[in-house]
Amino acid sequence: MTATGSAQPRAVKKRVAVLISGRGSNMAALIDAAKSPDYPAEIILVASNVPDAAGLAYAREAGIATEAVDHRRFGEDREAFERALDAKLREYRIELVCLAGFMRLLTPYFITRWNGRLLNIHPALLPQFKGLHTHRRALAAGVERHGATVHFVVAEMDSGPIVAQESVPVLAGDTEETLAQRVLEVEHRLYPRALRLVAEGRGSFATPGREKASC
Ligand code: GRF
């Protein structure tokens, strides 16, 4: 109860950055979800390692700050690229980072710095089909169900604790494209749902021995 007896103080929204490399349809889904007044996170920044990534234009039109940190400027030095990216995230006082089609492998430097505050969406039902070409491999394996997973990022690729998953049926006659489209529709619901859980503190994770993130 407040002094007036009614109005509740508004919860402070988590400051989120979305990292992309391409079209950014998951980023767009997060931006749309975050427009809702009761959503617990705000998309403060969209950053990309690809300066002309289509998603950057979408974010700009949505009134969101964008930054391009071109990985090619850093040659083979992945950590130098990550330091530049990390500096941007800190400049915007980012609390949670969502990878959404971000096509750079991250080093332990960045993963440790964002331990427990770094999410990724993967187009498969992890632990099945880690890595690339998940839809093609799901069809080749003849699985009945496929889907998407949002998970915390750890050093081992596509292996962190799972926040949320949703499956779709694999239908007779599916091609890589039709299956990818069905999974993508799920991704656009799943990522906003998973980010909500984490931002509300209902999904959290920290590598043992490290300080637990408060997110
Ligand atoms: C999505 O399928 C996502 O799961 C994967 O990369 C794709 C990115 O698509 N990590 P978009 O850029 O969000 O449209």
CA of 37: how far to CAs of 28, 32, 133, 166, in Å? 17, 11, 37, 25
Q: At what angle do helices 176-199 and 25-34 cross, to 10 degrees?
A: 40
Nearest CA to 72 out of 104, 110, 44 is that of 104
Token pair of 87, please?
Answer: 């500096």
Distance of CA 9 from the midpoint of ligand 1 (Å) = 36
Q: What is the DSSP letter of 159?
A: -
Nearest one of 12, 5, 4, 6 to 199, comparing CA atoms: 12
Residue of 137, 166, 187, 188 to test ligand 1 pocket, by largest number of atoms within 8 Å of CB? 187
pLDDT 10s per residue in the chain (215 long)?
444 445 666 779 999 999 999 999 999 999 999 999 999 999 999 999 999 999 999 999 999 999 999 999 999 999 999 999 999 999 999 999 999 999 999 999 999 999 999 999 999 999 999 999 999 999 999 999 999 999 999 999 999 999 999 999 999 999 999 999 999 999 999 999 999 999 999 876 655 444 333 33
Residue of 71, 122, 135, 146 marked active site? 122
Q: Which two tokens stand for residue 102?
A: 């971000």
Expressed in angstroms and rounded, the spacing between residue 2 Cα and the centre of ligand 1 is 44
**36 Cβ contact partners less than 8 Å away, ≥ 6 residues apart:** none
Using alpha carbons, select from 73, 67, 59 the residue that is nearest to residue 25.
59
